[in-house]
Amino acid sequence: MMQHSEYLGYAAGIITTLAFLPQAFRIFSTRRTRDISLLWALAMNTGIVLWLLYGIAKNDLPMIAANSISLILLMIILFLKLRYR
Amino acid sequence: MMQHSEYLGYAAGIITTLAFLPQAFRIFSTRRTRDISLLWALAMNTGIVLWLLYGIAKNDLPMIAANSISLILLMIILFLKLRYR
């Protein structure tokens, strides 16, 4: 059975992960990324890799799941940022 | 003494927190937020509150520190998004 804190972690992970979906869709539809900081996109990709490794080191499933999916979406956003400057 | 994983957590937290700085500065200087998704900003603020509570529940200092500062920067970005539509 999950502890209460695990539910909190999964809720946090689901929300912050899904947050990148409307951002990615917005870029897909407008093909504009001017107002998005390239440095933000680069730093987020780097940082989320580290959060993922931290989650693995701590064997923390909510962190591993959330950061894996966030990383995929952030890689897409970074790719779009580089493509539609 | 910190465990190795703690350093990883602090590095992750510092990078993902600082990532929001260039984004906030970009909005301050351009006063433009059109390419930034409002839903992203709302979801990130909500999700980071939950990550902060999760960090508190787990007594995880890197998570508490990083998410506290990220939340402040994300609140600023959300405010700017609402102000400069």
Q: What would the pLDDT profile of A54-85 be if each residue is shown by its tens digit?
A: 999 999 999 999 999 999 999 999 999 999 97
Q: What would the pLDDT profile of B65-77 be if each residue is shown by its tens digit?
A: 999 999 999 999 9
Q: How wide is the angle at C-alpha B66 spanned by C-alphas B60 and B70, nearest 5°?
A: 140
The answer to whether A32 contacts B27, with C-beta atoms less than 8 Å apart, is: no
d(CA A73, CA A55) in angstroms, rounded, equals 18
Burial class (CB in 10 A: 0-12, 13-18, 19+), B29: exposed
- Please give the ipTM for the structure prediction: 0.89
pLDDT score recorded for residue B1: 57
pLDDT score recorded for residue B5: 86
**Minimum Cα–Cα distance from B43: chain A residue:** A19
User: Which tokens in the block code for residue A28?
Assistant: 């897909």
DSSP string, chain B: ---HHHHHHHHHHHHHHHTHHHHHHHHHHH---TTS-HHHHHHHHHHHHHHHHHHHHTT-HHHHHHHHHHHHHHHHHHHHHHH--
Domains and CATH numbers, chain B: 4-83 (1.20.1280.290)
User: Which tokens in the block code for residue B78?
Assistant: 């959300």
d(CA A9, CA B58) in angstroms, rounded, equals 10
Residues in A touching B32 (Cβ below 8 Å): 34-35
User: Which tokens in the block code for residue A49?
Assistant: 């890799």
Output the average pLDDT for chain A: 94
Report chain A residues touching chain B, CB-CB < 8 A: 4-5, 8-9, 11-13, 15-16, 18-20, 22-23, 25-27, 30, 32-37, 39-40, 43-44, 46-48, 50-51, 53-54, 57-58, 62
Instruction: Please list, in sequence order, all residues whose beta carbon lies within 8 angstroms of the beta carbon of residue A24, skipping any fewer than 6 positions away.
Output: A73, A76, A77, A80
Residues in B touching A34 (Cβ below 8 Å): 32, 35
